[in-house]
Amino acid sequence: MPKQFIVIIALSICLFSCVKETDFNQADAIVLTHEVEANFIYFTLQIDDFEAPTVPTGSLTVIDTTEIRFLDDDFAVDNIVSAEFFFRVSNTFPVGLDANFTFLSEENEPFYEINFPIEISEDGTPVITEFSQLISGEDLDLLTLNDKVVATLVINTTDETLEGELNLQSKTTYFLEYSEL
């Protein structure tokens, strides 16, 4: 009898303890959805930074390049579902400018670009231009082929004595979905 009592308790623990009203297959539906705000590039330009055009009909231009190594990483390729670039430009030049950001692959092949005009300052006070571009779908596939970006600013003048200053600030909002836990 006493041995049976212990055995009954032990068996009861084994038999009546269970995990129910649960469905672990739901784990397949778990998706981490991040929204990451991150600074992108920034710079300030005076007229001295611009270079003379290589053709007589051209305009003053500045170009610079930087790597963005993470953009073509497997993690980014697999998990970024959309990205929004936001640019804010403060301009005191009395002429308009064009901004171009060309994204290049490791082999320096351009797969994606962002262009926008920068407004003129009529009276030398800062004029703010804001521009944003949401990238998703096939465009995003193209964006994530790249690991560097070339920034080109063209000022619509050849006057190398022009007064003024341009300040560009930018950020990217990455929308990520991560389901491979």
Partner 1 sequence: MKLFSLVVFLCIGFTGLSQNKQLLYGVSDIPQSLMLNPGGIVQYDKHYGIPFLSQIHFNGGASGVTVYDIFQSPNTTDINNRITDAIFNQKNTDFFTVTQQLELINIGWRNSKEYYFSGGIYQEFDMITYFPRDLAILGWEGNGNYIDYEFDLGDLNTSGDLLTVYHFGANKKVSDKLTLGARIKIYSSIFNFTSTNNKGTFVTRVGDGSQNIYDHLLQDADVQLKTSGIAPFIDDENGAPGMGGHIMSRALFGGNLGVGFDIGGTYEVSQNWVVSASLLDVGAIFHTNEVENYRAHGSYNLTGLNLIFPSLEDGEAALPYYQNLEDEITESVPVDTLYNKYTVIRPMKVNAGLMYHFGRAFGNKECDCLDMGQGDFGNQAVGLQFYSIFRPKKPQYAATLFYYRRFTNFLAGKITYTADSFSVDNVGLMAVGDFGKLNVYIGVDNLLRYGNLAKANHVSLQLGFNLKYL
Using CB under 8 A as the binding rule, whether residue 42 contacts partner 1 is answered as yes
For partner 1, what does the binding mask look like between residues 130 and 169, x meaning CB under 8 A?
---------------------x-----------------x
Q: Could you tell me the smallest distance in angstroms from the CB atom of residue 134 to partner 1?
A: 14
CB atoms inside a 10 Å sphere around CB 130: 9
Eight-class DSSP state of 13: H
Pairing of strands 166-178, 110-118: unpaired
Site for partner 1 in 108-127 (CB under 8 A): none
> Integer distance in angstroms from the first to the last C-alpha of the chain?
51
**3-state SS assignment for residue 39:** strand
Using CB under 8 A as the binding rule, whether residue 179 contacts partner 1 is answered as yes
**Whole-angstrom Cα distance, residue 116 to residue 128?**
13
**Whole-angstrom Cα distance, residue 43 to residue 168?**
5
Q: Judged by CB under 8 A, which stretch of 23-31, 91-99, 108-116, 131-139 contacts partner 1?
A: 23-31
Binding site for partner 1 (CB under 8 A): 2-3, 5-6, 9-10, 13, 16-24, 26-43, 45, 49, 51, 62-69, 86, 88, 151, 169-171, 173-174, 176, 179-181
